[in-house]
Amino acid sequence: MGAGLAFDERIETIFQQVRARNPGEDEFHQAVREVLESLGQVLAKHPEFAEQKIIERICEPERQIIWRVPWQDDRGEVHINRGFRVEFNSAIGVYKGGLRFHPSVYLGIIKFLGFEQIFKNALTGMPIGGAKGGSDFDPKGKSDNEVMRFCQSFMTELYRHLGEYRDVPAGDIGVGGRELGYLFGQYKRITNKYESAVLTGKGIGWGGSLVRTEATGYGAVYFVREMLKVRKDTLEGKRCVVSGSGNVAIYTIEKLQQLGARVIACSDSNGVVLHEKGIDLQTVKRLKEVERRRISEYASAHRDAKYIPEGNIWDIPCQVAMPSATQNEINGRDAKTLVKNGCLAVAEGANMPTTPEGVRVFQEAKIAYGPGKAANAGGVATSALEMQQNASRDSWSFEFTEKKLDGIMSYIHQTTWETAAEYGATGNYVAGANIAGFIKVARAMVALGLV
């Protein structure tokens, strides 16, 4: 890196180094590129960040753990999965971030998620560092006993890296209340400690927080509400589309409906349900939270709804789009379709659901676009509230906790808005989120010295 290079060129060089050091990890490269593209002016204003090589350091995880997870299915057949925990950055607090169980999981996915988590967690204003973990285990079609045996085997290695003051996982795709229960049970058994704050997303009867289940979806809707407020608009009567039908999608739909919007479609990995009258959330909850079935069955319960196998949910005209399933689910073409059909606002409940081409389309069209780091931070923020309750052996009411979540999302909106404006990018929440999150962590890293 020669002296005299323009800052953007310097950043390009750093990015090329990250890519070369981490071959084949496409999602990680994508997440890093997006953050680094926002940082040119930050380095110009803060020469100490360049001197201390903060960008290079922040792109290298503090610790990466990969292990073998053997387990037996109900017929006695042996299976081998791979476990991951990437402890990315602990400059501002304990490692914090979810666990994902999905067959697509490999190191590149966990690293992209862990990297995003650093900045997201910083934006919440809470003292939490960034991490992510998971496995290529597929919980679909497995019995409760199989899931339990897998979780116990997974935790039998992971436990030694965790702790209330060290690393605190939670859920993500494929990891919900059931899995967290089995994981916490095995942690408690191995360590012989009731260490509540070692995991978040726990059940209400055993150390969990009210509102954590709802928090990511509710928070994403609060974020849209704030983005629309700037444009002197509201969610009332808006036609909305929410992809996925898991934890984030369900509580996104719930809050949208509470705020008077009309949600007409949701999906799973097999297809899309379109219900012009408005999605009946009780049916979705029964199918997904209780019976663990496919969204196609929604159409059997509602004859006036249409099921589109393998359908593309972004082809459905809407005013507000909330991707809540997985990464790269909106490509450039989908983004163009959304804009052409009159979409006013997109807020990402999922992590990195829009490809770089898609993001460009939204930004050029100047619609309100809230990236995941900002829009879905309500989940992890409420995890931090759960840790706060555990630390004080207290439990707060639903109303009190939800008010805190609402306040945090308004704060994140305001911070990202103001930071973007300060850096000459008014209305660009991507720049605002990346810059504000980065500066907070970078300052702490400088203060803590070369570690």
In the complex, minimum distance from the CB of residue 248 to ligand 2IT, in angstroms, rounded to a whole number: 9
Binding mask 158-197 for ligand NDP (x = CB under 6 A): -------------xxxx-x---------------------
Structure letter (DSSP) for residue 286:
I
Q: Which does 258 bind (CB under 5 to 8 A by kind): ligand NDP, ligand 2IT, none?
A: none
Q: Which residues, in sequence order, are CB contacts of 451 under 8 Å at separation 6+?
A: none
Nearer to ligand 2IT, 239 or 404 (CB): 404
Residue number, 173 or 442, with CB nearest to ligand NDP: 173
Half-sphere exposure of 23 (CA within 13 A, CB side): 1
252/249 Cα distance (integer angstroms): 5
Q: How far is the CB of 169 from ligand 2IT (least distance, A)?
A: 7
Q: Which of 124, 135, 200, 326 binds ligand NDP (CB under 6 A)?
A: 326
Please give the full DSSP string across 101-154, using - where no structure is assigned: E-TT--HHHHHHHHHHHHHHHHHTTSSB-EEEEEES---TT--HHHHHHHHHHH
Q: Which does 200 bind (CB under 5 to 8 A by kind): ligand 2IT, ligand NDP, none?
A: ligand 2IT
Toward ligand NDP, which CB reaches closer, 50 or 371?
Answer: 371
**Look-up: residue for tokens 């990891």?**
175
Q: Decide which of ligand NDP, ligand 2IT, none touches 97; Cβ closer than 5 to 8 Å per partner kind.
A: ligand 2IT
Q: DSSP alpha helices (H): ranges in 140-246?
A: 144-158, 177-191, 212-230
The interface partner of residue 367, options being ligand NDP, ligand 2IT, none and the CB cut-off 5 to 8 Å by kind, is none
Q: Angle, nearest 10°, between helix axes 429-448 and 398-422?
A: 90
Which residues are identified as catalytic?
Answer: 132
Residues in the interface with ligand NDP (CB under 6 A) total 25
Q: Show contacts with ligand NDP in window 288-307 (CB under 6 A).
A: none
Q: Among ligand NDP, ligand 2IT, none, what binds residue 96 when CB lies within 5 to 8 Å by partner kind?
A: ligand 2IT
Range 333-372, binding ligand NDP (CB under 6 A): 349-351
Residue whose CB is less far from ligand NDP, 14 or 181:
181
Contact (Cβ atoms closer than 8 angstroms) between residue 429 and residue 369: yes
> Which residue has the closest beta carbon to ligand NDP?
246
Q: Are the beta carbons of 418 and 404 closer than 8 angstroms?
A: no
Residues that bind ligand 2IT (CB under 6 A): 96-98, 120, 170, 172, 200, 351, 379-380, 383
3-state secondary structure of 184: helix
Please calculate the CA angle 97-102-104 and round it to the nearest 5 degrees. Answer: 105
Residue 378 CB, nearest approach to ligand 2IT (Å): 9
* C-alpha gyration radius of the chain: 21
Instruction: Give Cα 238 to chain centroid, integer Å.
Output: 24
From the list 131, 121, 54, 49, the residue with the least C-alpha distance to 89 is 131
Query: Of ligand NDP, ligand 2IT, none, which one sits near residue 248, judging by CB under 5 to 8 A according to partner kind?
Result: ligand NDP
Residues in touch with ligand NDP (CB under 6 A): 102, 104, 171-174, 176, 216, 244-249, 268-270, 324-326, 349-351, 376, 379
